[in-house]
Amino acid sequence: MILDSLDAMDRYTGIHPGFLAAFEYLRSIDADAFSSGKREIIGDRLFAIASITAGVGVSAVRLEAHRKYIDIQYAVSGIDNIGWRPLSRCMGRDGDYDAQRDVMFFTDVPETWFGLAPGSCAIFFPEDAHGPLGINGNLHKIVLKVSVKW
């Protein structure tokens, strides 16, 4: 997992070939105007999903992990409380892996919590179980999905 401001994300472009395009995209859009829906950036290799949604609070957060995509979560407004736990320490599966949605859920609780503030990005790799939407209130967020297999 990586947590940093969007302004500092260029230091991570060497980690994955899709990161440069992802960060350039976030910097090029009017994030306030992109409030819902999906936009393809580079086909199914890189796309963005935006939403304005009510959080569930930290007590109701469910850890999730992905196999095919790396999440880059960007907060537009509201501070999302996100839980994190290494996937290798998740023992309680909550259902089967959903290949169509590329998600699996866990009953484990996060080991660490952090606030994703506006203008910040959190990058979650397949080995990172993460529990978003821990905010008590509304959140405007853009999630970029970057294919692991570029």
Nearest to 21 by CA among 10, 31, 32, 30: 10
DSSP class of residue 98 equals B
pTM over the 0.75 mark: yes
Domain that holds residue 121: 2-147
Query: pLDDT value at position 46?
Result: 98
> 14: pLDDT confidence band, cut at 50, 70 and 90?
very high
Please give the Cα distance from 40 to 86 (Å, whole number): 29
Domain count, the chain: 1
CATH of residue 88: 2.60.120.370
pLDDT exceeding 70 applies to what percent of the chain? 100
